[in-house]
Structure 1
Amino acid sequence: MKVVIVGAGKLGLKVANVLLGGDNDVTIIDTNEEILQKISSQMDVMTLNANAKEIKTLKNINISSYDFLITTTGNDELNIVIASFAKSLGCNKVIARVRDPEHMQQINFIKDVMDIDHIVNPDLAITVEIYKYLAEKYTLSNGIFSSGKASLIEFSVDKFKELIDLPIYKVPEFLPNMLIVAISRNGKVIIPRGDTVIKNDDAVYVIGEKGPIMTLNEKVHERGKYNDLQKVMIIGGGKTGFYLAKMLSEFGAAVKIIEKSKDRCRYLSSHLDNVMILHGDATDLNLLEEENLDLMDAVVTATGFDEDNLLLALTAKRHGIEDVIAKVSRASYGEIISSMGIDVALSPLDITTSNIIRYVQGTKKVLSSQLIQGQAEIIEIIASHHMKILNKPLKELHLPEGVIIAAIHRGPDVIIPHGDTKILEDDKVIMLSLLSDISSTETLLKDDGGKGFFKKTFG
């Protein structure tokens, strides 16, 4: 499949890396020649130093021969215009990155008039995941993923104490015909192996047949400290803070935003109803204490600086806040986050990349997908005869560290796999992959002839 990416920033490069995992033909267009030279030396992509807004640029690359154009620059208007031009010139599908809330208010009109197939918004995407985490935690939904006869739930192991200090390979003694597919530990989602030991403060994700899973759900899910999510403090009034405050306010929570830009505070005050806007520097502990930090049910740190978000999240956690969520862009902070006790740390980059990739894959093979705490993705695919994962014991597939086969639908049966289980043609396979390893999933699904998942879907 041929894909052109406009913009050589973090998002563009992340998407390109994932697509390359499936042996797709990727072209990156950017106006910065120095960056493109660096990319050419590190990645197997075509690069073009040009302005994609110019029609001649799109014509020169024969844009009508491309399956997808993805605009990822930091300019909404530029992304919209380039995507629209490309579609008019015959590109099969176009995707545009759009972040401005005012654009999002009229997004359907923009998509229709400009003929754009799909819009991605990193700020809105991470907001949805934060909202889902908080709303689902307090409304206690039955199962966070369900497909056919299989269902997945999440719970803290203090609700099932037999699991504490237990290695994964011994879990079937207590949870027969079920599988722990992921563990949330200190704000980080990990894929367990057989010798992984479950720790006291872990939350686990368990998959199995719906009947036993729902019975387990009744045992481990009791209402906690609050009947409703009542008080939330959001630190940072940028786009993420704006979207989240709006959603949580409509959910019924009392929301308070702390923002240090006076101009931004004025904007928030005029665009948000029933949200308290405070002008101040949240790194000032006195301010946080004056604003009753200790009384909050949840704190979300969403400033534009990872370091501030981590520091503020740690401060909130040390004040005994039940749920602390940090917006963090740098993957290199992963190990630090794991040791800090933060409940959830989300990356807009990983979430948006997943959004784009799932749209590119389409629906011919991917039956469904859902994010887990914004850090991992559970997907259901149909195993086709092209895939090299067929007819081999799972233990011989050498699965990447961040990928696990969670369950297999075969006819009327749900199979909880083990090392000797084989995937057969037409099986519905439920997989879980860390977003940081999403390219590994694509590589895993290559066929024996070298074609990637995308080429099988669209080729």
Structure 2
Amino acid sequence: MRSFWRREPSKATQSTIVIAGAGEVGFHIAKRLASENKQVVVVDQNPAALRRLADTLDVQTIEGSASSPKILDVAGVEDADIFLAVTDSDEINIIACFFANILNPDAVKLARIRNDEYSLYRDALTGETLNISMLINPEVEIIKTIERMVTVPGALEYSEFVGGKVKLIGLRLKEPRYAGLSLIKLREEMGDVSLIIGAILRNERLIIPTGRDTVEQGDLLYVVTEDRDIPEICRAFGCEHLAIRDVLIIGGGNIGLKLATLFERKGYHVKLVDKDEDRCQWLAGVLNKTIVLKGDGTDQDFLLEENVAAMDLVVSLTGDEETNILSSLLSKNMGAKKTITRVNKTAYLPLVRAIGIEHSVSPRLSAVNSILHYVRKGSVLSTVSIKGEEAEALEAIALEKSGVVNKPLKEIDFPKGAIVLCLVRGDRVIVPTGDTVILPEDRIIILALRHAVSKVEDALAVKLEYV
């Protein structure tokens, strides 16, 4: 057992989080939380993975197996607020949660579980013996992400809050007549359509705007709105709002199978492609309406033969990033209306956007997003990452003793880099102004840059003044 130490931060206002697993998921959760002044301890058996963490992040690392109660005791699980078991082994994650529950029954415990068989015993895993708060399956999470993406075909990103009452969608502004307009003027031009621009992505820079900021053609606008106004907003911005009917899935692994099953239920016409003949025969036996094809998604002749130009959606889901990127680029260039690309390494995400692939998904990033709202303090109910990891949209309940209630928004000393997007009071969605007053039990949707997230958490939890 070995520990790598960096400076010891003050524990007075910090949450303590123990992470079992220093792989991609563990690394990115640790990176996000350490940047928010949380005390993070990471346990892993791989010294190289731990050294990468210790060299780049302000975290404590402990070398050893997370399935060892002694190692968990050394890691400080007994005093932790949250325990995250995200190693590559389901069995180690389950055993780690078992001992973590003995050491600290009150800690929030989350486990990464990829084997569907374990999911059948969810009640046992989340019951008193293990007391796991949430089971995270990266394959399931990526399916949910793709499902959100196809809900509004013209959107590059799509999230729901307050049980679906509020939508946050990322739309590319293609309509030139709005270029140069301030946000105030843009809302006037849109008439009775309910919308608020929460963020602007321009030249890979994320801007939290004021009403006087302008929009430019090609900007990616993060718009908060309601269902009824989405088609009108898509039309106004020059985005196609076409229904999806014909789908090609490249990659017949577990994720491809799950997605084909989902799309069958939605009534889509689905083709599923895989290189392995035995896998294709098996897939054809378990799927009902999907046409299973043996082929190579990077073979231009094959794509031409399967009429990829007529596809409303092509989803590339193989385990190889290069294959996914190439098949998406080929499909897009041959006329497919929309492509979604699986990218395992989150460091690749900005690169794929730069070469023209705007719709990408990462199993690891999807898992991180699912974990985050359990980590957030106070009344935060859900969180969604914006532009990878640069910002978050948070849904929270306004607590009676919070520093944000019972006074106009313009009088709240909110941290720089954060904005209240909307409120939901009962069944009513309110687009706020400076005179809007947040009442206890209101649902609040807030967008915050990464550096402002921890201050937003504190403001929601207790009365707090920022200096």
- What TM-score, normalized to structure 2? 0.76
For residues 323 and 125 of structure 1, do their structure 2 counterparts lie closer, same or farther at Cα, with a shift above 3 Å needed?
same
Task: Report if aligned partners of 2:180, 2:216 keep a CA contact under 8 Å in 1.
Answer: yes
Task: Report if aligned partners of 2:249, 2:256 keep a CA contact under 8 Å in 1.
Answer: yes
Corresponding residue number in structure 1 for 2:329 = 314
Equivalent residue for 1:130, pick from 146, 149, 158: 146
CA apart distance, 1:149: 13
1:7 aligns with 2:7: no
Task: Report if aligned partners of 1:40, 1:47 keep a CA contact under 8 Å in 2.
Answer: yes
Distance 1:172 1:271 in 2: 50
Q: Which amino acid aligns with 2:94?
A: I
Within a 5 Å distance, the mapping from 1:282-301 to structure 2 comes to 282-301=297-316
Task: Report if aligned partners of 2:153, 2:240 keep a CA contact under 8 Å in 1.
Answer: no
CA apart distance, 1:125: 0.7
Corresponding residue number in structure 1 for 2:42 = 28
Q: Which amino acid aligns with 1:181?
A: G
Corresponding residue number in structure 2 for 1:117 = 133
Q: Which moved more, 1:261-270 or 1:403-412?
A: 403-412
Distance 1:273 1:14 in 2: 38
Q: C-alpha deviations, 1:150-199, integer Å up to 9, x for none? A: 8446596789775355354532332477422246899x995563545342
Q: Which moved more, 1:297-306 or 1:60-69?
A: 60-69
SS in 1 for 2:196: strand
Distance 2:342 2:369 in 1: 17
1:97 aligns with 2:112: yes
Q: Which amino acid aligns with 2:328?
A: A
Corresponding residue number in structure 2 for 1:67 = 81
Q: Which amino acid aligns with 1:42?
A: T
1:88 aligns with 2:99: no
1:181 aligns with 2:227: no
Counting aligned pairs with the same residue, the percent is 27
Q: Which moved more, 1:243-252 or 1:81-90?
A: 81-90
1:445 aligns with 2:452: no
Task: Report if aligned partners of 1:153, 1:217 keep a CA contact under 8 Å in 2.
Answer: no
1:323 aligns with 2:338: yes
CA apart distance, 1:58: 2.7
Distance 1:298 1:150 in 2: 26
Within a 5 Å distance, the mapping from 1:346-425 to structure 2 comes to 346-361=361-376, 364-369=378-383, 378-382=393-397, 399-400=416-417, 404-408=419-423, 414-417=430-433
Distance 1:341 1:37 in 2: 35
Distance 1:345 1:89 in 2: 40
Task: Report if aligned partners of 2:22, 2:43 keep a CA contact under 8 Å in 1.
Answer: yes
Equivalent residue for 1:42, pick from 56, 80, 85: 56
For residues 151 and 75 of structure 1, do their structure 2 counterparts lie closer, same or farther at Cα, with a shift above 3 Å needed?
closer
Equivalent residue for 2:93, pick from 79, 82, 88: 79
CA apart distance, 1:20: 2.4
Distance 1:230 1:71 in 2: 39
Within a 5 Å distance, the mapping from 1:274-285 to structure 2 comes to 274-285=289-300
Task: Report if aligned partners of 2:142, 2:366 keep a CA contact under 8 Å in 1.
Answer: yes
Q: Which moved more, 1:109-118 or 1:156-165?
A: 156-165
CA apart distance, 1:26: 1.7
- What TM-score, normalized to structure 1? 0.77
CA RMSD of aligned residues (A): 4.3
Q: Which amino acid aligns with 1:96?
A: A
SS in 2 for 1:309: helix
Corresponding residue number in structure 1 for 2:446 = 431
For residues 225 and 307 of structure 1, do their structure 2 counterparts lie closer, same or farther at Cα, with a shift above 3 Å needed?
same
Gaps of 5+ in 1: none
Distance 1:33 1:155 in 2: 40
- Pairs aligned (count): 433
Q: Which amino acid aligns with 1:445?
A: V
CA apart distance, 1:408: 4.8
Distance 2:269 2:124 in 1: 32
Distance 1:295 1:101 in 2: 34
1:58 aligns with 2:56: no
Task: Report if aligned partners of 2:178, 2:186 keep a CA contact under 8 Å in 1.
Answer: yes
